[in-house]
């Protein structure tokens, strides 16, 4: 069971990046997925989450209108599209998954998630 993130890197302020989280060894159909980020010296904070159905998405206030989470179960992958990037978005980004039955359940709390990816660095600077 493994989550593998990709798509991080560097961008200028105002630019865009798309992160991908691919599952290996299990299918994401029965999982809600979250993205978290951790800046140096800070705790790992919630960024966005998506339910099994995709019908329930949640975002932290600082990224609303700029970041968009989506899932493609056929590709066993969840995406985080990040637009209008700001220097304060710089962090290591982690995807996480937790098995659930309700199709519209999500969680904003990192303690709710069972599986975690290895993390992917995103740096926003001019």
Cβ-count burial 54-79 (b if 16+ within 10 Å, e if not): beeebbbeebeeebbbebeeeeebbb
Q: What are the C-alpha distances in Å from 52 to residues 7, 15, 100, 125?
A: 22, 29, 8, 34
Q: What is the pLDDT of residues 63-74, one digit of tens each?
A: 999 999 999 999
Q: What are the C-alpha distances in Å from 5 to residues 65, 83, 105, 126?
A: 22, 18, 22, 24
Query: pLDDT over 70 for what percent of the chain?
Result: 100
**The predicted structure's pLDDT at residue 101:** 86
Pick 58 or 29 by higher pLDDT. 58
Q: What are the C-alpha distances in Å from 12 to residues 18, 85, 120?
A: 14, 7, 17
Q: What is the pLDDT of residues 33-59, one digit of tens each?
A: 999 999 999 999 999 999 999 999 999
Q: Could you tell me the sign of the dihedral formed by the alpha carbons of 44, 49, 51, 53, in that order? A: negative
Kindly report the average pLDDT of the chain as a whole number.
96
């Amino acid at each position: 069971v493994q989550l593998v993130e990709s798509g991080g890197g560097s961008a200028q302020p105002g630019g865009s990046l798309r992160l991908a989280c691919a599952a290996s060894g299990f299918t994401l159909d029965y999982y809600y997925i979250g993205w978290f980020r951790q800046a140096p010296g800070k705790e790992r904070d919630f960024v966005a989450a998506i339910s099994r159905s995709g019908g329930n998405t949640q975002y932290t206030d600082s990224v609303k209108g700029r970041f968009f989470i989506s899932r493609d179960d056929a590709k066993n992958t969840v995406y985080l599209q990040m637009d209008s990037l700001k220097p304060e978005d710089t962090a290591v980004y982690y995807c996480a998954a937790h098995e659930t039955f309700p199709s519209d359940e999500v969680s904003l709390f990192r303690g709710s998630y069972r599986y975690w990816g290895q993390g992917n660095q995103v740096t926003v600077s001019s």
